[in-house]
Structure formats: C-alpha cells, structure tokens
Amino acid sequence: MRVPVLLLALLLPGAANAALTLPGDAELTVQANEALGSFGLPVGPFAGGGVEKLSVEGTVSHSAWRIVGTRATTLQILSPMREELQADGFEVLFECEAATCGGFDFRYETHVLPEPDMHVDLGDYRYLAAQSTTGETPEYIALLVSRSSESGFVQMTRVGPPDLTPVAAPSTKAMNITPVTAAPAQDFSAGLGDRLEKTGSVALDDLLFETGSAELADGAFASLAELAAYLAANPARKVTLVGHTDAVGSLSANIQLSERRASSVVNRLVSTFGVSPTQLQAEGVGYLAPRAANLSDEGRTLNRRVEVILTSTE
C-alpha cells in the first residue's frame, strides 16, 4: 500500500513517541508478522564460510519500504535511523556496507524479502543490527538499506515481546538531503521515441533487476512499454540495449554482467511486449561509459543502468 510520508513512527521500548525517519515518499511494500518465532540475527561479516548470527526469539516482524524518487544515498537513508535507535536506547551490535559485509555472500546468508518488494544492489547496500534491553524483554532490529537508480529500499526485521507494536500511523518530518542533480530519473510520459530520435539514446532508469543476478525483475516498466510502442509504430527502426555498471570489480566481469542485463531487457521486450527480435540487439560495456564519477555512492548508482540507443541511420 502507498504511504506518502516523510516519517514513519514506530513505538519502541521505553519511548512512546520514538520514530525512524525515511526521506521522500515512502511506500510500504510488504509486512509479515509471526506471533512467536526464532530468527538468526547477523552480527558479523561473511568470514570463514559463514556469517556469525545471534539466535533470538519472540514476535518476528518483517517490513519493507520503497522510497520513490529519492536521490539520497544508502548512508543518508540509514544514518538518521541509526541515530534515532541509539537515542531510544538501542545499542548497535554490528554495522557494515556492501564490501565490508561480504558482498554477495553476506546478502545470501541474510534474510531478505523477495523482489520487487525489497531490492538489494550487491554493490550498494548497508546493514545494521541493534539491540534494546530497556524493556522487560529484549528487542532486536535489523535494518537493510539499498537502492536502485531512482528509488531507495529499506527492510526492517524486528524481534521482540508478544505485544510488539507494528508500524503506527505516520506523521511528517522532512530530512535534509542534498539531491544529486546529475542524470535525473526519466519522465517516460514525455515521449521516449521523440527523445530517442533527438538525442540518440535514453537511459531506462525505471528498470529493476533480480537480486544477485542479471534477470530483470517482474513488473510493468513504463520505459519498456513506451519503447515497444515506438518500435511497433516504426518497424524499420532498430535499437541496441546497452548495459552499464559501476567500477567495482574487474572490467571483464562487469562487461559480462552488463551484457547479460541488456539481454534480459531484450528478452522481456520480445516475450512480453511482442517486439520483433530483428529490431533489437544487446551489448554490454561494463564501466567504460560512466555518466558520473565512481568515487561516491551517488555516482556508482547513476552508472548502473541500461540504455537504449537508436542504431538506425535512416
């Protein structure tokens, strides 16, 4: 369900008005509760073939939000929540970002809600585990934050007493986020075909890929629907889908990943939208064509994309 809020209030032990802050329009994508269960809370990075976990029991709640249109980095999203947890008596047990967590291995040793409700970019995520002992029964919270090119994603797992309070009615409070102005998200209602013929290429910034793979996630992507309509109306036109990555990892591995993702987009255009394969081609260039520096989370996020290039010469 859509919750257009700037602050999501959580009733935490010993602090009736405690809250965790999220930037922008936050959409609660999923919430699942288990009255009594156990949970393996990661409290260390992937090392020696596994992740150190603390076995905790109680009411288990999993929630996820998509923060639509935000340009906040994963650290900008997580930092206020960490400060608010600490102010409400929570002790941080463990915190890491993608590389220090253990990348792919840590993510797959951690409980993650499925796509598209929760999206995890293996090169850009942050994790935090915290504990509160201020109440009669300890409470534990695990936060996982990631983002796509146009949205932020937050997953929260809470384990606590039987009367663990779910997410309460939201109030509003803005966060001071410095926006990233380079390469804003595309408005696909403005005419993808017109922009393609004018500029020669368009970044499909609304695409999401399955976690840890090159497979395009399920969903109705506005960019693909408009591209398909353009190609159907112009059967002589041909385009190439080009995958791009950030500069994390080797060039050869990134070129392979970017080409597989571009191929996944081609397959979706053919299988779902009925585009003729003769009008499509897939290529990958890895990190060789950045649209921002790879020195920051913002830049790396902007560089991970699939673009459509008009290859017709007439």
DSSP 123-147: TBEEEEEEEE-SSSS-EEEEEEEEE
Domain with 215, as residue range(s), is 192-310
Q: Does residue 179 form part of some domain?
A: no
Q: How confident is the model at residue 165 (pLDDT cuts 50, 70, 90)?
A: low
pLDDT value at position 164? 60
- Identify whether residues 110 and 16 lie together within a single domain: yes
Query: pTM higher than 0.85 for the full model?
Result: no
Give the closest residue to 91 by CA, choosing from 126, 129, 143, 53: 129
Q: Looking at the structure, tell me whether residues 210 and 263 fall in a common domain.
A: yes
| pLDDT bracket for residue 213 (50, 70, 90) | low
Give the Cα separation of 147 and 90 in Å (integer).
Answer: 25
* Domain count for the chain: 2
Pairing of strands 239-244, 280-284: parallel
150 and 196 assigned to the same domain? no
Quick check: 148 and 300 in contact, CB under 8 A? no
The answer to whether 157 touches 113, Cβ cutoff 8 Å, is no
Mean pLDDT of the region 144-161: 88
| Sequence-distant (≥ 6) Cβ neighbours of residue 187 within 8 angstroms | none
Q: Are residues 264 and 215 in contact, defined by beta-carbon separation less than 8 angstroms?
A: yes
CATH number of the domain that 54 lies in? 3.40.1000
What mean pLDDT do residues 231-244 have? 94
Looking at residue 12, its pLDDT comes to 46
Domain end call among 137, 160, 183: 160
Over the stretch 15-63, which tens digit does the pLDDT of each residue have? 333 457 776 678 888 888 888 889 999 999 999 989 999 999 999 989 8
Is 47 part of a structural domain of the chain? yes
Flag whether 177 is in a domain: no
Amino acid occupying residue 166: P
